[in-house]
Every structure is written in C-alpha cells, then in structure tokens.
Chain A
Amino acid sequence: MYETIAFYLFAFLTIAMFWITVTTNNALYAMSSLAAGMIFISAFFFLLDADFLGAVQIVVYSGAVMAIYAFGMMFFDTLNEVKERNPKKVVFVLSGLIALMLVVIFVSPIISSKVQALYPMVEGVSNPKEVGIVLFTKYLVPFELAAVMLLVAMIAGIILAGKKMEKSETETEQEEEVVFEKGVEQ
C-alpha cells in the first residue's frame, strides 16, 4: 500500500521536475529541477530493492554530474533567458508515439513468453553484496573497461576545457584592436 502511494507520488514528482527541466526558459531552474528529478529517480531504485543503484544514482548523478554541470554553467552566461523555439505539435506527437511504441515493445515479450533469469537474486543477501558479487565476477571486464572509459573521459574533459585557458576572449579582442590601430597608424 505504501509502496503504491510512494510510486505514484514519486512518479508525479519526477515527471513534474523533468517537465520543468525541458520547458523552463531559465537555465538555473532547469538545472535545479533536473537535480531534484535525479534524486526522485533514486527513490524508484530504493522501491525496487536496488539500494546500491539508488545510492550510486544520488552520488554520481545528483552529486558528480550535476556538480560538473554547475561548474560548466559558470562559463556560460546562464542568467540570460534561454530562447527556445516554440514547441511544435510534431515534437509532442513524435515523442508520444515513440513512447507508446516503446511500451508496446517492452510489454509484449513479457506477456508472450517467460524470460529466464540469468543471474537470479539470492534470498537473504543484501543488494550491494549481490551487486558486488556479479559485478566482480561476470561483469569484471566491462567494469574495468568502464573505468578506463571514465579515465579517458576525464582526461579529454580536462584537455578540451583547459585548452587556451590562459587566454580569455576579452584579451584576444583587445590584442586584435591593438593590431588594427597599429595598421591604421602605418
């Protein structure tokens, strides 16, 4: 009973938050609502007995990712109103259609056939422990690859963002002006 109430409550909240994220014209609102939505998503994970996933969701998404976004936004003039094109009907129709189709596709095999559990959950063992066992046995190679990928992404992020960090835009413009004035004098 509580589970049902919790599901619908969080479903409403997540949808509301994400709706704000995609519709608002203020970047800060968008980011804040996104972070909130992320946290609400983690609630589903707890409801689904995926404790560890819920924790990771909060730590990685709401913590790390949103922090990166927050820092990233410092580079951009986020206080301005974000101009967006008027939502067109076609966008909603397309999205709704895709969602509907996805549901149909997801639902159909569950109804039509029995899916065999590959890595069945073990009774009486906590979720993080289970996850740890599977992750470090069956999914060890993908896990290590994911680690390497994160490292690569980190280096790439630093290099991309850090390139010519010592030069600001305004400085470059001034230099150009100086060169221009010299040209005029000559």
Chain B
Amino acid sequence: MVTLNDYLILSAILFSIGLIGVLRRKNLLLLFFATEIMLNAVNVAFAAISKFYGDLSGQMFAFFIIAIAASEVAVGLGLLIVWYKKKGTLDLDSLATMKG
C-alpha cells in the first residue's frame, strides 16, 4: 500500500535532484530545467496531500504553480535570449555584474 509518506519522500528526492541541478549547472538553460524539476516535485507533494486528506486545496495550488511555471518560462527564456544576444554565452559565471 502506498502511503502519503512514500509520495512525500519521492517528492523530496525529486526536489533534491532539482536542487543538485540548480547548484551544479553552469548553463542557464539547463539551470531552468532544474528549476522545472523542483516545481514538479512540489506539485507531486501537493497532489498527494490533496488526495490523502481528501482536500482539493492541494490541487488548486498545484494548478497555480503550473501557471507560474509557464509564466516563468516565457519571461525567463525571453531574458535568456536577450542575454545571449548581448554576451554570446549562457554561462552563469558571465553574469557577474553584481560583483562589488
């Protein structure tokens, strides 16, 4: 029998995979992929909680997260294109304008 804990553990594993990606990726595009993984991991957790508590709020939040993810992709990709045009690279280390 699959319990809520199983889902949550899965979700945590997926989240940490996403985090690993965020932390080790240098390429901005692939870094975006990693963030999508993290968002999806959270969605799984929400859906699972929704199911095991018999409450729809979890699913609702999952929907909104998907909407936010979609907007993020649109804006983020637009920004990436601008950056790529400017610098010719998607290397994260080229984004060092905040250096004091």
B56 lies within 8 A of A169 (CB): no
The smallest beta-carbon distance between A106 and chain B, in angstroms, is 5
Q: A41-B40, A153-B71 are in contact. Are A164 and B13 (CB under 8 A)?
A: no
**What residues of B have a CB within 8 angstroms of the CB of A142 in the complex?**
64
Most chain A CB atoms below 10 A, which of B9, B13, B45, B56: B56
Total interface residues in chain B, CB < 8 Å:
70
Contacting residue for B84 out of A76, A94, A96, CB 8 A: A76
**What residues of B have a CB within 8 angstroms of the CB of A115 in the complex?**
53, 55
Q: How far is the CA of A15 from the CA of B9 in the complex (A)?
A: 12
B2 lies within 8 A of A22 (CB): no
Q: How far is the CA of A110 from the CA of B5 in the complex (A)?
A: 9
**What residues of B have a CB within 8 angstroms of the CB of A37 in the complex?**
37, 40
* New A-B pairs, 5, CB < 8 Å, besides A4-B1, A30-B33, A119-B57: A44-B47, A65-B36, A68-B77, A84-B25, A139-B60
Give the 4 A-B residue pairs with the shortest CB-CB distance, closest first: A160-B78, A22-B21, A153-B71, A99-B16
